[in-house]
Structure 1
């Protein structure tokens, strides 16, 4: 399978690229022209773009791919609203090239509280998290709304706090919901789920919660 990965220099996107290559896929990694991206592999093509503000420069990277995965998002609260604008350009490139399958990362606080979530989490922890990064989550809500209305065959993956721990392949998921009492997940395992979602019909046009 040919897969295009946006955010390839990021924590999740980097794992997506490596895991996809390890699985035998052909990968196009989209990176900024100023990036010092050093990954090399016979099955890897690197496309350098000036940015993700317009769809035009992205067409080459997307054309001919069977799926597109986006790990684009803010590295911290101070990065500002980066996800929605970038994703809008990616979606426009998908529409113009006829690529249908799209998997993107968002965040667990955008999902509904799990029915069996603890009272403490529901009334105290979750509202605190939402208030702490309100601007980031507002941007992600715009991104999610654009994805849902895009006409693509989408999956939105919503992780909680991200860690740099190793890939386990052992985690909980909630299709259409949020994993209860799910506090952390490694970036490597988020990447694992995003790749698995490509061929899972149960995850098409659905958000998916993930956590340990």
Structure 2
């Protein structure tokens, strides 16, 4: 497949790109600073550009079979503005214009899926997020809304506590109140899950919670 990756220079995004290349996909990455990706491969094209530039976003999406967004907001309390929400809106518009329908991204269990049952995470996590990371929660809400209110064929994986430990190969996925799920998950396993959604149809237009 031809896959466009946003957030490719981040901790999860870098691993997503590597996983996709290992799986034999052709990858296009849009990066503000391409040198940060530090990957070279005959199936990888990295272009310089910003999410705030609709033309650059659309060019990177053109010809893709799917888009994977590994974008995540800053957890700094001093962070302001909603650049990722606006950037995600640009991605959605570009995908619609280029008739690319498959979107795979990230969010948090602070945001509920309609398939969830009542769960303590619905009560606790939003309160903690509003107190500790208010701007990050605003961004994640805006990013998710931009995708779920579109006509895109999306899967948004909800993660709680990404770690830099080695991949375990153990991935739990499902909906709160239905399926057993934890909180911690290695970034490598998150990347594996995101890449697997290119061909896995279980979570179409859904937001599974994932963990190790």
Instruction: Name the TM tier (shorter chain).
Output: 0.7 to 0.9
Compute the displacement of 1:114 (Å): 6.5
Q: For structure 2, which runs of at least 5 residues remain unmatched after alignment? A: none
Q: How many positions carry a matched residue from both structures?
A: 209
Tell me: CA distance 1:95–1:75, structure 2 relative to 1, closer, same or farther (3 Å).
same
- Partner of 2:15, secondary structure, is helix
1:150 paired with 2:147, answer: no
Tell me: CA distance 1:90–1:124, structure 2 relative to 1, closer, same or farther (3 Å).
closer
1:100 paired with 2:101, answer: yes
Compute the displacement of 1:122 (Å): 6.7
Alignment of 1:162-173 (within 5 A): 162-173=162-173
Compute the displacement of 1:85 (Å): 1.2
Q: In the alignment, which residue of structure 2 is the partner of 1:10? A: 10
- Partner of 1:30, secondary structure, is strand
Alignment of 1:1-212 (within 5 A): 1-33=1-33, 35-49=35-49, 51-77=50-76, 78-80=78-80, 81-111=82-112, 115=117, 117=119, 127-175=127-175, 182-212=182-212
| Two-structure CA RMSD over aligned residues (Å) | 2.5
Compute the displacement of 1:83 (Å): 2.5
For 2:11 and 2:179, the matched residues in 1 are separated by: 22
Tell me: CA distance 1:123–1:200, structure 2 relative to 1, closer, same or farther (3 Å).
closer
For 1:144 and 1:18, the matched residues in 2 are separated by: 25
Tell me: CA distance 1:123–1:13, structure 2 relative to 1, closer, same or farther (3 Å).
closer
Tell me: CA distance 1:18–1:178, structure 2 relative to 1, closer, same or farther (3 Å).
farther
Q: Normalising by structure 2, what TM-score?
A: 0.87
Q: Which region of structure 1 is more displaced relative to structure 2, 32-41 or 196-205?
A: 32-41
Alpha-carbon deviations, 1:150-201, whole Å to 9, x = none?
1111111110111111222212111577865622111111111111112222
The answer to whether the 8 A contact 1:116-1:180 is kept is no
Q: For structure 1, which runs of at least 5 residues remain unmatched after alignment? A: none
